Amino acid sequence: MTTATQNSENLFSDNSDASLSAMEHKSKEMKIRGVGIIAFLEGGKGNWVSKMKVMGALKNEEVNFLAVAYSKAGEMVDTLKNSGTSDRTPLLGEFKFIGGVIEKVNNGYVLAVFSGATGEEDTVVAALGLEFILSKLK
């Protein structure tokens, strides 16, 4: 691991809880409940550090929000595109759900996911988390 990568990972770790808190605040403001994830992908697809937080509900009677959130994250780690936006046929375990966003940084990628509402609402919350963490990494 390079020094620059270690610095990015440390900055990510130091700010991931605050990013998740910002996402939770936004979800409460929007009156939605679910699960949020923030992750740093070191250099690419081989290694990642992530944090997850239940933001009001792990599941409801029909949906396991955590399972959906990690499906979105898994798709993004493979495609390096926002969840649900790849043109390829989804692999087993991928469902093309929107609500996860990803961006390249100097030493890898950062992604944020929310699951618990409509895909559009999930994307608003995830985008806020990504914007927050990116502001700390730059």
pLDDT at 127 (0 to 100): 98
What are the b/e assignments for 25-62, b being 16+ CB within 10 Å? ebbeeeebbbbbbbbbbbeeeeebebebbebebebeee
Tens of pLDDT along the chain (138 residues) come to 677 667 888 889 999 999 999 999 999 999 999 999 999 998 767 789 999 999 999 999 999 999 999 999 999 999 999 999 999 999 999 999 999 999 999 889 999 999 999 999 999 999 999 999 999 987
pLDDT at 5 (0 to 100): 61
C-alpha distances in Å from residue 117, one per residue of 42, 67, 90, 124: 29, 14, 21, 10
| The token pair that represents 35 in the structure block | 């699960």
pTM, rounded to two decimals: 0.94
Backbone torsions φ then ψ of 31, nearest 5 degrees = 60, 45
pLDDT at 4 (0 to 100): 61
Taking domain 3-137, whether its CATH number is 3.40.1030.10 is answered by no
Domain boundaries, the chain: 3-137
pLDDT at 31 (0 to 100): 98
